[in-house]
Every structure is written in structure tokens, then in C-alpha cells.
């Protein structure tokens, strides 16, 4: 009986290890922009959870505040990246479009961070500022052909 469990534990452990290696291997192939976007997505998910309703927000205020700051940093970090420019749909000047969309992303993230980092942040104001950020994600993904299934 004991031996059976050992074998079971060992084989599942092995599977987890293989899966882990597989994932980290895929990460290495990601472009720098993709890596930043993965972080953007993580911060975004935390904020989204935190502003779900006023009761959640009361508990997660700090998390929302910190992740909003992080979002500003990541937005600024992604602006100079050029790898997506070739993917623009119907754009005469992809670089200009990219800059405009990135500036909107940076500006809305800064507004969100301002709202969320106030001493007594207002739920409605933070939630509204977050919706404005979400819109900038979709606006850019539409032009640069990113599927929105996250
Ligand atoms: C100005 C453009 C722009 C903005 C703004 C933007 N993204 Fe992206 N995002 C991209 C591009 C381009 C890619 C595709 C990167 C690639 O495949 O190389 C991408 C990819 C992604 C991915 C997929 C990453 C992967 O592993 O392939 C996620 C998730 C994502 N973005 C989330 C977000 C979220 C959430 C926001 C807003 C909070 C956001 N993005 C704002 C341009 C943008």
C-alpha cells in the first residue's frame, strides 16, 4: 500500500515537473513586449478583482493601489517597443498610431493610480478610472490584431 502511494506521488511529481519545464520553455520564446503584456495582464487582473464591488474594494484597496502604480510603470516600459508595428491593421503610420494608443494607456493608468492612491480613495472614481484603462487595452489590441480572450 505504502509503495503504491510512493509510485503515485513520484509519477505525479514527474508530470508536474515536465509541465513546468514546458511552460518556462515557452516563456523564453516570448517577445519582450509579450513579457511586459503578461505583467500588464497580471496587474490588470488584480485590479479587476479588487474593484468588483465596494466591499471587496475596502479589503483590497492597497493591492489595487500598488498594481495601478505597477501598470503605469509597465505602460511606460512598453511604449518604446517596436515589434508590434508590423501587425497594424489599415494604418498608414503604425508608429504614430502606436504612440497615440500608448499615450492614452499611460495617461489613463496614471489617472487610475492617482485615484487609487488617494488617502481615502473613492470606490466609484477608482472603478471608473479602471474602465477607462480597460478601454485603452481593447483600442490598441483592435488595431494591432491581438485576440482578446483574457
Ligand atoms: C498600445 C498598445 C497596447 C495596449 C495599450 C495594451 N496592449 Fe496588450 N498587447 C499589445 C500587443 C501588440 C500585443 C501582442 C504582443 C505579441 O504577441 O508580440 C499584446 C498582447 C497582450 C496579451 C497577450 C500576451 C501574450 O502572452 O501573448 C495580453 C494578456 C495583453 N496584451 C493584455 C493587455 C491589457 C490587460 C492591457 C490594458 C491594461 C493591454 N494589454 C494594453 C498591445 C497593447
pLDDT tens digit sequence for 70-115: 999 999 999 999 999 999 988 999 999 999 999 999 999 999 999 9
Please check whether residues 36 and 2 belong to one and the same domain.
no
| DSSP category for residue 3 | H
Q: Residue 83 Cα, ligand 1 centroid: separation in angstroms?
A: 12
DSSP H helical segments within the chain, as ranges?
Answer: 2-29, 32-50, 54-78, 94-116, 123-143
Please check whether residues 66 and 135 belong to one and the same domain.
yes
Burial of 10 (0-12, 13-18, 19+ CB in 10 A): exposed
**How many domains does the structure of the chain reveal?**
2
Please check whether residues 12 and 65 belong to one and the same domain.
no
Note whether 54 and 122 are within 8 A (CB): no
Please check whether residues 61 and 11 belong to one and the same domain.
no
Please check whether residues 35 and 24 belong to one and the same domain.
no
Tell me which residue has its CA closest to atom 39 in ligand 1: 137
Please check whether residues 24 and 88 belong to one and the same domain.
no
38-53: pLDDT as tens digits: 999 999 999 999 999 9
Please check whether residues 41 and 114 belong to one and the same domain.
yes
User: pTM value?
Assistant: 0.84
The boundaries of the domain holding residue 51 are 31-143
Amino acid at each position: 500500500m505504502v509503495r503504491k502511494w510512493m509510485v503515485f506521488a513520484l509519477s505525479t511529481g514527474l508530470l508536474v515537473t515536465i509541465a513546468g519545464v514546458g511552460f518556462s520553455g515557452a516563456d523564453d520564446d516570448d517577445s519582450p513586449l509579450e513579457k511586459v503584456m503578461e505583467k500588464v495582464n497580471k496587474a490588470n487582473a488584480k485590479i479587476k478583482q479588487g474593484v468588483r464591488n465596494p466591499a471587496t474594494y475596502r479589503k483590497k484597496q492597497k493591492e489595487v493601489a500598488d498594481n495601478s502604480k505597477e501598470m503605469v510603470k509597465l505602460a511606460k516600459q512598453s511604449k518604446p517597443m517596436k515589434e508590434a508595428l508590423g501587425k497594424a491593421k489599415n494604418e498608414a503610420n503604425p508608429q504614430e498610431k502606436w504612440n497615440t494608443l500608448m499615450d492614452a494607456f499611460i495617461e489613463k493608468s496614471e489617472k487610475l493610480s492617482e485615484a487609487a492612491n488617494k488617502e481615502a480613495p473613492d470606490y466609484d472614481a477608482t472603478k471608473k478610472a479602471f474602465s477607462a484603462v480597460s478601454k485603452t487595452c481593447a483600442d490598441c489590441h483592435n488595431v494591432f490584431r491581438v485576440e482578446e480572450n483574457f
